[in-house]
Structure 1
Amino acid sequence: MLLLADDFFFVAHDSISMKRRLADRVVRLGLAGALLGEQVLFRRINVRGERIRVVDPSPPRDALAHTVLDHLLAEPGVTSMRDWLRFFAQDAYEKVLQRLIREGHVYVREERRFLRVITVFEPTMTTRAGWPESRLASRLSAGAALEPPDVVLAGLVAATGLDTYVLADTPPHARPYLQRVVSSLPPSLREVVNQTATAVGDAVLNART
């Protein structure tokens, strides 16, 4: 089963070429937001305003989620959502990719290009890689109910600009429906989306100056 950050990883890449659709920093921040969103969905943390509070220190089953929670527990004095987004963004890409490889959703191979050998990764099934995006697009198009992880995914997609891709072939009502379902998220999950959007906005602005 794909977790929230895994779904976001696949949406952030072309499902066939696996080329990134966004700037590296934006993808990393989106993945960091997704990893923190997983903690809310696992009921390990609450987010109020910009502050994170651990409400259940018991380790999640997933190894990466366990590691994320360990970091939060090790620094109880650091409660700023933005600080944690920046921290997890440093290696979120590599960590989520490792989880996808470990779970058999992605494989790594070496490829020779211009006298160099480079490492590339590919999905084990392109249909699985494309499923998070097609699932979101079809349900938003139909105005269908979304499970909480998919609502958070939709929010992070919008926060990072991936909605350009997800909504490309959807009817006009899909975008306002996306905004409506995201605004209905519980406070902690809505803050994860909002704080991620703010961090992405700051990163884009800083890159232009």
Structure 2
Amino acid sequence: MSRTARTVGALVAATALLLSGCVDVDSTPSSETQTEPASAERSTEGSGGPGDLLPGAEGTSQPTADDAIDDRPAADPTDTDPTDTDPTDTDPTDTDPTDDDQSEQPELGAPGIPACDLLDLPATALPVIEDIEAGGPYDYPRNDGVHFQNREGILPDEDRDFYREFTVETPGLDHRGPRRIVTGGFEETDPEHWYFTEDHYESFCEFDPDRAEVG
């Protein structure tokens, strides 16, 4: 073979080799082209609706300020203001209503006439008091319920029809005895004053049948 023929053959071979290399470069996919579909697949994999992702998973949205407010612990409804007052507290200036009732009751006893308690009277006085409040009948109808003249002047001076006297029997005696209840007031069954004498009008004490000191 001549030198010229060998040169031409070498050029043809080199041209063929060069052409084959270009074809390989164009047909080989680039790294970017190969990685893009995988990235797309990963981005779509597991991308379900809201709430499908577990906490901390890829793609979870960052908490917002509203979420932080919602996560704050709720206030305990049992907590109370330390300044609240006990509804059971009462005003120390409040007074016992029974004190007013006692203050409204009239004082017993006139000048020279002491007060006495119902329980200090003899037992035979109690049925007489009941008969007076019932308007009778009395054990001594001719003597009980008659007007007492107050000639001794020991009781307060009143009209002649103001006082009435009633017999309180003394056990062991066969007569009326010295004990009496004298009432004052114009209403026979609801007297304003009650007096007791155990020595036939020489001394008196005033009592109230509705008031008795027990204990």
TM-score class normalised by the smaller sequence = under 0.3
Higher normalized contact order (CA 8 Å, seq sep 6+, divided by chain length): 1
| TM-score (normalised: structure 2) | 0.18
| Structure with the largest fraction of helix | 1
User: Which of structures 1 and 2 has the bigger CA Rg?
Assistant: 2
| TM-score (normalised: structure 1) | 0.18
